[in-house]
A and B are shown apart, each in its own frame.
Chain A
Amino acid sequence: MTDVSYLPATAPPPKAGPHGLPPSAAGSAATRSAAGETRANAAPAATTPTLEDPTGGRRSRGTRLSAPGWIRRLTGPAVLFAVWWAVTGTGLVGGRVLASPLAVARAFGDLAGDGELWNNLSVSLVRVGWGVLFGVAAGLVLAVLAGFFRAGEHIVDSSMNFLRTIPIIALLPLIIVWIGIGESAKIFLISAGVVFPVYMNTFAGIRGVDVKLVEAGRTFGLGRLGLIRRVIIPGALPGFLIGLRWSLGVAWLLLVFAEQVNTDRGIGYLLTSAQGWNRTDIIILCLVIYGLLGLLCDGIVRVLEGSLLSWRRGFSGT
């Protein structure tokens, strides 16, 4: 409410400096009115804001028709498959360079029919299984030692960081000298590769547990074991799962290397011999099998994450 009617129409407009109040402000009604007038003049009119829908039209409808998650996750591979089919089907790429899906399917039928594929696959799976098991166990033990105990950190962490920089493949000659070329050497190689991602991520997970939560746990009567079980392990779990997923990738990679050294069974062996026979259909078949196994492992870790980390409500992409 600004009463300006007392001002003669000819009165000069009040000065609108940065501090537009007249210095003589003594609290009289007139001065206050003048001050109000000044402010009214000095303040720019409110601009009309532009309005927008804050969601930008990205409304999530509860009842939106959508395929289950695993179908949506298969979209990418399906697109790849379609491109492959198109490229080989139109004769853009010759069959000797890249076998067509049909040829690969035929190779699959042949190899599956006489049981050779299943033999090789099971041998590879057993190698990866043991390798991951030993590697994850060792990585966890080391991470717990380094994470919980000062002395453990000094001894373990620096060694692990040093060893981590050595390319695992470069260990192969040494492994052959140590434990020969048998199954144990292959499992050892895979374990050695799996240890590091599990160790690094679990250690970081343990150290990332909020000390305030540890304090709170202690206040409410948790002992050392209770703290580990209720606070530290759940807190380190996200890190461990990242390490696990990463380590499964490493395991398949190392399997290929391990199975190229003096083997007569395994997917890697099949791959190497197919190269010798110039059979791109079998080579592609092996690659597809690797891909599917990778996808399977990813799915397993995903399911684990879903059930173990249901308490999280993280950003899940737009």
Chain B
Amino acid sequence: MATRLQRYLSPPAPTSAQDEAGQAAGPTGLASLTGHTGPAGPAGGDTDGVAVRVRGLRRSFGERVVLDGLDLTIAAGEFVALLGRSGSGKSTLLRILGGFDTGIEGDVLAATRRSVVFQEARLLPWTRALGNVTLGLPGKDVAARGRVALAEVGLADRERAWPVTLSGGEAQRVALARALVREPDLVMLDEPFGALDALTRIRMHALLQELCRRHRPAVLFVTHDVDEAILLADRVLVLADGRLSLDVPVGVASPRLRSDPAFAVLRSRLLAELGVDDVAEGAR
């Protein structure tokens, strides 16, 4: 896999027409982030109903190899949680899928209509909350759509607020609204709720689930929180040593309760995979 790859130069195409609400995204438009294959899909690979397809992805910073032959497929509408220790390369993978990192080897395809909620909110400080939500949004009634999105994250009354005056959690909710207002086929979230208080977090989980149920985007959700991963995801991945060391479906019946034995079993397994002593963790 030492192919010299072309660079990904053009910015991601702006999201355009809205999907019919409530419909699972059909065949997703995939963009090759390496320019290796056309957007219609690589020859010999079936990309129907796939939002992300990664084969043999390798990324190194100098001597340090962060991603080493990583394979990953995410189906359209699938909610995938990505766990991993700090520094294991989760954000690096998201940056690559976002199209920001061109120093990669391997095949990477990701839905053309994708959006990101970053680890820090990354709001433009000189643009008010509403302007940040509608940033780069094409089409008509942009402000109205932005207001709806802000209302969905509970910030209807803060649309004229400057980002410096928002609390960390509020800023992150604006960032969430900004990602969701585009009705993307793929949403990538990088520890989006880490800065939120426990109550808001629960509300955000419900909100995220509700929005996912309605629009059915594929979701790649990076988190440190094993419980959060089990509560939300259809499938949980663990990133370690540059590849996915674990890839398990969440077989816990919904509503997912922490008291469910299946929950506890999966939790122990994931914690063990992350190298955390389950007993010590549980004793806290």
Partners in one complex: yes
Contact yes or no, B11 A223, CB < 8 A: yes
Contact yes or no, B164 A217, CB < 8 A: no
Question: Taking the complex as formed, is B12 at the interface, i.e. its CB lies under 8 A from any CB of chain A?
Answer: yes
Q: Which residues of A contact B (CB under 8 A)?
A: 212-213, 215-223, 226, 230-231, 234-235, 237, 309-313
Contact yes or no, B124 A313, CB < 8 A: no
B115-123, B149-157, B193-201, B228-236 - the one binding chain A: B115-123
Question: Taking the complex as formed, is B272 at the interface, i.e. its CB lies under 8 A from any CB of chain A?
Answer: no
B70-78, B130-138, B206-214, B237-245 - the one binding chain A: B130-138
Report the bound CA distance from A221 to B136 in whole Å. Answer: 5
**Could you say which residues of chain A place their CB within 8 Å of the CB of B99?**
218-219
Q: Which residues of B contact A (CB under 8 A)?
A: 11-15, 98-100, 115-116, 118, 120, 122, 124-128, 135-138, 162-165, 178, 182
Nearest residue, chain B, Cβ from A238: B126
Contact yes or no, A220 B125, CB < 8 A: no
Main secondary structure of the interface of A (DSSP, over half): helix
**Could you say which residues of chain B place their CB within 8 Å of the CB of A313?**
162, 164-165
Contact yes or no, B137 A221, CB < 8 A: yes
Please give the distance in Å from B140's CB to the nearest CB on chain A.
15
Could you list some 18 contacts between A and B, CB below 8 A? A213-B124, A216-B116, A216-B118, A217-B124, A218-B100, A219-B100, A220-B135, A220-B137, A220-B182, A221-B15, A221-B136, A221-B138, A221-B182, A234-B127, A311-B127, A311-B164, A312-B164, A313-B162
**Could you say which residues of chain B place their CB within 8 Å of the CB of A310?**
162
Supposing A217-B136, A219-B116, A230-B127 touch, asked if A212 and B122 sit within 8 A by C-beta, the answer is yes
Nearest residue, chain B, Cβ from A237: B126
Contact yes or no, A221 B127, CB < 8 A: no
**Could you say which residues of chain B place their CB within 8 Å of the CB of A312?**
125, 164
Contact yes or no, B162 A219, CB < 8 A: no
Q: Which of B15, B135, B137, B165 neighbours the largest number of chain A CB atoms within 10 Å of its CB?
A: B135
**Could you say which residues of chain A place their CB within 8 Å of the CB of B163?**
311
Q: Which of A218, A221, A230, A309 neighbours the largest number of chain B CB atoms within 10 Å of its CB?
A: A221
Nearest residue, chain A, Cβ from B121: A216
Nearest residue, chain A, Cβ from B136: A221
**Could you say which residues of chain B place their CB within 8 Å of the CB of A213?**
122, 124
